[in-house]
A = this chain, B = another copy of it.
Amino acid sequence: VPATLRDVARRAGVSVKTVSRVVNNQAEVSEDTRQRVLDAIAALGYRPSKLARGLVTQRTDTVGLILGDINNPFFPEFARGVLDVAEANGYDVFVCNSDGDWQREIRTMQSLIDHAVDGIIIFPTFELQNHLPMLAGQGKPIVAINRPLQYPGLSRIMIRSRLGARLAVTHLINKGHTAIGMIAGQAWPVERLERVQGYMEALRAHGLPVHREWIVSVPPVLEQGRQAALQLLSQYPEITALFTYNDLLALGAIRACQALGRRVPEDCAIVGFDNIPLADQVFPALTTVHVDKYGLGQLAMRRLIEMLAAPDGDFPPIHSDVELVVRQSA
């Protein structure tokens, strides 16, 4: 049975309050007393209960991280960024998956709040945005990635996805492609919109027509990418290049090309998005838009800590840059 503040106080021959003072080193305590208390703490192996402390201070040194799916190669790096900054600052973090389901997001946020987390970092779905203010009303600071929301207690970090899409498609155009299809995602509507807009902007900027039927939306996983590419390239054989919502879809598209006997990039160039860890390991190595996932995670957690330190502070959105990485597939 672990020692309590009382036990320490008794052993050191001081009051509970005095022990509390040295544990949280607040106010002045005589050097002599302090040492006696410290000795008692060491002797008893005393550890303050975060539960008890949290009950009165409303701070638990915990945060919640809600992401789409830790299995999606985009997220582990992001999570690592969050976890590293959290650990360095004395926070433990609850990790949860939403799978893009807003009802599950709400249940999860509620559960985290029940545990009295200090704040939450989330990749919100589109539908969640109507519910976020209510949840934010609980007084918990929230950092939202990629959602153009704006109100007190919520801070946002935006990935420059539209820019990324423009870079990708412009690269294809510069390589001489004029018939460029797109395999768009389907799970995160706002993200999807951004990337589709970037795609269209690049085409228009070069006087190329937009063929709506060349844009197909599927869940952003490999197998769906394969099928979508198969369909697109069969139905519109004039297409010579593909821009995809993410790298997983791009990998699927490469498979489709192989099945169709189209060489990549000679017969069909492909550009992905995200630059997941193995993008440079596949064959052909993926040309893609790099997103600094680890840095983004760090940014998010640092921002949350800042918000915790200044509850009434003003926190402008942060925009995270992207970069085209040219490899073999385009």
Contact = CB atoms under 8 A, between A and B. Distances in A.
B51 A60 contact: yes
Nearest to A2: B138
Nearest to A279: B278
Contact of A282 (B52, B79, B283): B283
Contact of A55 (B51, B77, B93, B138): B51
A119 B95 CA distance: 16
Contacts of A283: 282-283
A94 interface: yes
B73 A70 contact: no
A281 B223 CA distance: 11
A8 interface: no
Nearest to A95: B95
A6 interface: no
Given A55-B49, A92-B96, A71 B60 contact: no
Given A114-B48, A283-B282, A71 B62 contact: no
Contacts of A278: 73, 251, 278, 281-282
**Interface size range on A against B:** 35 or more
Interface stretch (A9-17, A32-40, A105-113, A234-242): A105-113
Contact of A69 (B47, B80, B87, B281): B80
Nearest to A54: B51
Nearest to A90: B111
Contacts of A62: 94, 115
A229 to B, nearest CB: 15
16 contacts: A51-B54, A51-B60, A51-B116, A52-B55, A60-B115, A62-B115, A64-B92, A70-B76, A70-B80, A71-B76, A71-B277, A73-B277, A76-B76, A83-B95, A87-B108, A283-B283
